[in-house]
Amino acid sequence: QSGTLETNVDVLIIGAGPAGLMAAASLAHLTAVPSSSPLAVRIIDKRSTKIFSGQADGLQCRSLEIFDSLGFADRAWKEANHMIEICMWNPDASGVIQRSDRIPDTIVGLSRFQQIVLHQGRIERFFLDNIQKYSGGAIKVERGILPTSLEIGEERVKVRVRRLTEEQAAPPQVRTGSKSESTDGLFRSNLVGDDYEDQNITHQSDGEEEVINARFVIGCDGARSWTRRALGPEFELQGEATDFIWGVMDIIPITDFPDIRMRCAIHSANDGSLMVIPRENRLVRLYIQLKEVTPDASGRADRSKITPELIFGAAQKILKPYKIDYEYCDWWTAYQIGQRISPSFSHPSNKVFLAGDAVHTHSPKAGQGMNVSMQDSFNLTWKVGLVAKGICHPRILDTYQSERRRVAQDLIEFDHKFSRLFSGRPAKDVMDAEGVSMAEFKEAFLKGNLFASGLSVDYGPSSLVVKSGDPGELGDRSDRSRKLEGVHKITDEAFRAKQALAKGLPVGMRVNSFKVLNQACARPWHFQERLKADGRFRVVLFAGNILDQTQKQRVKAFCDKLSSPSGFLRQATPEGAKVDSVIEVLTIHSAKRTETELLTDFPDILHPFDPRTGWDYNKVFVDDESYHEGFGDAYHNYGVDKERGCVVAVRPDQYVGWIGELEDFDQLQEYFEGILVL
């Protein structure tokens, strides 16, 4: 069409929910990595506003670690309600609910963060502020914009979009005349058919049009993803729905139930189950099983029958003999439990990707959707950004599908089991085979807590992860049943030997955090705090006992190769850029801090000199006692030999990619040659 505005971008993100905002934020953080021109990124959303209440609220440990690497975990940590204990309530022999068990909400010692709860609207706010700060205002969510067609070309993806009116972009609300003027989230519930929401706006042809030519498109447009549908039927979600219907209410409760400020899993004898999630600002979220609402012949429940009164009535029954009421309801919704996943997360061209609810949906009770969705796009965007900048080989884009689809599959399996245990009737005794055993439920909860934390994610072998094992297929579709390109080969035996150098840093998993001290100023740091999400790879040199002369020679020999013009470090650094702009070298040694000197005991490359700013004092750390914050015992916790040390390559998303001896420089060189355009 002549006269239509046409623009070019590097990355177009469709959808500004948690997955899309994470994508935009992590792309904004890539500014530290040099490129000939800044990345052009746009993010569009058909809605006129962000979320203000309701929806997701649980933030898991891994998400908080990621927020910290982006610089805003402290905001969430301060504002949120902290989840410390889970109480299990079950019927006793006479059918009356009683507290039967308590377990810690987060497994002790798993992370420096524990699960917290804060509503999605605040989290979206933190993202928006962060994107503004790190992009210098260049990336802004453009609201009220609807994509209408997508065409994948040789070089670029052509996306046609249309600007909506205020009215078209506002989410529809069901007004029920209930106690308080709360907003409802039914418009995003899976009880609403796929086309319901868009049918009013897609068929109107008014509104300004634009064609956006993007090198990469990331579809983060939720469970009813337009991008997914535009890619074709082979991307459709597959899976099943159950007959279990649940309601959700965010209220300020007035009750005599003693554990209302604890996370509770309550199974009543005959009236269904309830989950209590204590929230910020006196709010409590109730997930309530609606036993009286069942799906019709089409498999879907009639959403017009679901009101806050009906949902709350069910909660009152489950909680009997305790009483509960409310004056203020902040938000409510209902959903039907089901687990669905797309066969493919990326188009074979590796130009269009899908993330978050667009490719996996499940029940919200385990607090996974937002977390896994954000973690999807966090996994993807540094790869897309570094390929767009010409720093990384496009082949690394294959690993998005191979890494994240596996996580989503695990999530679906977990949710399948968990939600059935939750929605089932408690067993009366061991002979009651149809009932749910409460011992099994507790066991699933305990195991589920590790999975739910996001810290059990273990990526398989690929161009980015050097380990033995099966790299897996790129997807389930026949045209994609090829193995990953450029996978580094290593035998099981050789890998076991390398992994033994740092048992506490499993290759393929995220770097855990222990405190170390800055060699130059003695300040304690959680080591993970030094692994910012700025797009840089890191080589972590565990320099061992640097005071031992043999070890000092080993460190020197490693650093000589590192400093060489033909080594990966210099080769990866663009002309005129700082030597740490693509790969940063960080050192942790195990000698006494007070017996070692930064400038004389450590080769220059470990604390590079800049003519304008002098030596870099922020790259060498020591595993030693601090004055005020104890001893992190990092070598012990990472399972590294205090005398000999080792070398670890860490990806920009904090996952361990490679482990070797100080003499294995050539293998490290090979690792980076497989990833970077040197």
Which residues of the chain form contacts with ligand FAD (CB under 6 A)?
Answer: 14-20, 44-47, 55-58, 146-147, 185, 220-222, 226, 248, 333, 335, 356-358, 364, 367-371, 373
By beta-carbon proximity to ligand FAD, the closer residue of 46 and 393 is 46
Which one-letter DSSP state was computed for residue 534? S
Q: Which residues fall within 8 angstroms of residue 308, CB to CB, at 6 or more apart? A: 176, 178, 179, 182, 249, 329, 332
* Nearest C-alpha neighbor of 538 from the set 1, 25, 32, 27: 32
Q: Whole-number minimum distance, CB 132 to ligand FAD, in Å?
A: 18
Q: Cβ 122 to ligand FAD, closest distance in Å?
A: 13
Residue 45: is it exposed, middle or buried by C-beta count within 10 angstroms (0-12/13-18/19+)?
A: buried
* 617 given a catalytic annotation: no
- Residue closer to ligand FAD by CB (options 412, 605) is 412
Closest CA to 216 of 1, 396, 66: 396
Type of residue at 36: S
**Which neighbouring-strand residues pair with 209?**
162
**Which CB atom, from 222 or from 448, has the smaller least distance to ligand FAD?**
222
193 versus 469: smaller Cβ distance to ligand FAD: 193
Name the residue among 279, 299, 292 with its Cα closest to residue 246. Answer: 292
Q: Which is nearer to ligand FAD, 249 or 438 (CB)?
A: 249
Residue with smaller CB distance to ligand FAD, 255 or 371: 371
Least Å from the CB of residue 226 to ligand FAD: 3
Q: What is the CA radius of gyration of the chain?
A: 26
CA–CA dist 529, 507 (Å, integer): 20
Closest approach, Cβ 374 to ligand FAD, in A, equals 7
CB atoms inside a 10 Å sphere around CB 282: 12
Q: How far is the CB of 520 from ligand FAD (least distance, A)?
A: 40
Contact (Cβ atoms closer than 8 angstroms) between residue 370 and residue 58: yes
Give me the least distance between CB of 312 and ligand FAD, in Å please.
15
Structure tokens at 521: 């100023």
How many CB atoms sit inside 10 A of residue 665's CB? Answer: 20
Which residue number, 47 or 498, has a Cβ lying nearer to ligand FAD? Answer: 47
| Active site (annotated) includes residue 57 | yes
Residues 128, 142 contacting (CB under 8 angstroms) = no
* CA angle (360, 183, 24) in 5-degree steps: 45
Q: Please, which residues bridge with residue 392 across strands? A: 676
Give the bridge partners for 334, in sequence order: 247
Residue appearing with tokens 């570094």: 386
Q: Work out how close the CB of 668 gets to ligand FAD at its nearest, in angstroms, rounded to a whole number.
A: 36
The nearest distance, CB 229 to ligand FAD, in angstroms, is 9
Q: Which of 147, 253, 308, 364 is catalytic?
A: 364
Nearest distance from residue 384's CB to ligand FAD, in Å?
16
Is 287 assigned a catalytic role?
Answer: yes
Catalytic residue among 10, 45, 57, 357: 57
Q: Which residues contact 677 (CB under 8 A, 6 or more apart)?
A: 390, 391, 392, 393
The H or E element spanning position 212 is strand 209-219
Between residues 403 and 664, which has the closer beta carbon with respect to ligand FAD? Answer: 403
Quote the CA–CA distance of 332 and 178 in Å, as a whole number: 11
Contact between residue 287 and residue 216 where contact means Cβ atoms under 8 Å apart: no
308 part of the active site: no
313: alpha, beta or left? (left if phi > 0; alpha if psi -120 to 50): alpha
User: In the Cβ-directed half-sphere of 98, how many Cα atoms lie within 13 Å?
Assistant: 7
CB nearer to ligand FAD: give 211 or 497.
Answer: 211
Catalytic residue among 134, 287, 335, 459: 287
Q: Which residues have a catalytic role annotated?
A: 57, 279, 287, 364
